[in-house]
Amino acid sequence: MQLSTLFEDEQAVSPVIGVILMVAVTVILAAVIGTFVLGLGSQVQQSAPTANFEFSYTPAGGDGFTDTGDDNDQFTVEHTSGQSMERSRVVVQVEGTEVGGSGDWSDTTISVGSSFSYTEDGTAALEDGDVIRIIWNSANGETSNTVGRSTVPTS
């Protein structure tokens, strides 16, 4: 075999380069798609449930919600329609202070027809114009949304 013919014979070069390029393109595409899919998987967020709530208020004294010394003013929230929620992910706040109460919301699931009642106990006083919020938190704790909101009526 002559050495000069070895360098001049280029018949198999084109198919070999084609195969190498196809393998390289396939590996790069697989890496890009894998990174994209795995990257999006960790960023999926839960969306807040949609629900409607009805708020009702019962002042303890004849002066409405203006006397913070009553300690018996009350509000009740009823889940009237929409999706059910896990109780462990829901917080009720009066002017930013978390409050506990009684009712069906002590169960594990808050569903249509269930209610929550809070009577002043020193945790948070109910006064004219106070904002009451029902806040839902995602399972990972990264997202929270107000799913219900009401304002204490003025006298």
Mean pLDDT, the chain, rounded, equals: 82
Q: How far, in Å, CA of 106 to CA of 91, rounded?
A: 12
- Which one-letter amino acid corresponds to residue 119? T
For the chain, how long is the longest CA-to-CA vector? 115
| Helix ranges (DSSP H) in the chain | 3-8, 13-41
Domain extents for the chain? 3-41, 51-151
Measure the CA–CA gap between 113 and 104, rounded to whole angstroms. Answer: 9
Q: Please provide the CATH number assigned to the domain covering 51-151.
A: 2.60.40
Supply the pTM of this predicted model: 0.65
- What pairing do the DSSP bridges indicate for beta strands 97-98 and 90-94? antiparallel
Residue 30 pLDDT exceeds 60: yes
In this predicted structure, the answer to whether residue 155 has a pLDDT above a threshold of 80 is: no
What are 91's strand-pairing partners?
135
pLDDT band of residue 7 (cuts 50, 70, 90) is low
